[in-house]
Amino acid sequence: MAGGRLTVVGTGFLVAGQATPEATACMRAADRLLFLVAEPATRLWLQGEFPRAQSMADSFWEGRPRLEAYEEVVGRILAPLREGMNVCAAFYGHPGVFVHSSHEAVRRACAEGFAAEMLPGVSAEDCLFADLGVDPALHGCQSFEASSFLLRRRKVDPSVALVLWQIGALGVSTYSTRTLWNRDGLDLLVEALLEVYPAEHEAVVYEATLLPVCEPLIQRVPVARIAETKVSTYSTLYVPPAWRAALDEAMLARLGLAAAPDAASPGEAER
């Protein structure tokens, strides 16, 4: 095993409040702390709490291909590791959810013989479940990146909740400082959803709050009007089930169960 060590951590979304004790301890113990976060308050907290912390935000600029920027971030993380340092890379939210550079840095570090690991953090989806009062185990949950959802014509089960990530960046491969990267893409998304859901079915355009004094952005809107709402690159779309799936009578019998009218299946019972 080579001398350096890499730990990738998440800061969550609330300033300091959702960084786990484990992640904070790793940031404090690091020889080199590099970070990429969503807003100035978390940056100020990191630089105040860890004076040697260095932002990687300057790897991104208007019009730069995102994969090119991600590759630069990977290189910046690996450089001090190859010098034998204990490196910690901190990303906002969960470090492994929609973060290409974190997974690639860990993969390459391990391939080069370094000790490397990723610690769990609080993702936007975790915040969504809490803020909307949604239990993903009740009816199930299907989750897709929004561009992939359209480009790969994903098959959707309307009896299961649907989560679509990055609906404000549909089909865009370059970085931008604009709040919304592709409004026209929202029209295409609505068109695809209307193939599955009734026009009046209520969905939620959601953004986790970044500051303790602010509320999350929760916009309840019919599927047909999603493109008319306030959407940014931080927005996640939640579409609840349109109806409950029927129980399989044959499987009920094989399991020795009896179904009451409109009853939840045994696995759907709340803890």
Domains recognised in the chain with CATH numbers: 5-118 (3.40.1010.10), 124-239 (3.30.950.10)
Q: Is 92 a catalytic residue?
A: yes
Per annotation, catalytic residue among 66, 82, 108, 154:
66
| pLDDT score at 269 | 46
CA 13 – CA 128 distance, rounded (Å):
12
> Average pLDDT, stretch 48-57?
94
pLDDT category at 3 given cuts 50, 70, 90 is confident
* Span 111-133, pLDDT tens digits: 999 999 999 999 999 999 999 99
Per annotation, catalytic residue among 70, 175, 197, 238:
70
- pLDDT at residue 262 is higher than 60: no
* Span 76-105, pLDDT tens digits: 999 999 999 999 999 999 999 999 999 999
Per annotation, catalytic residue among 43, 76, 92, 206:
92
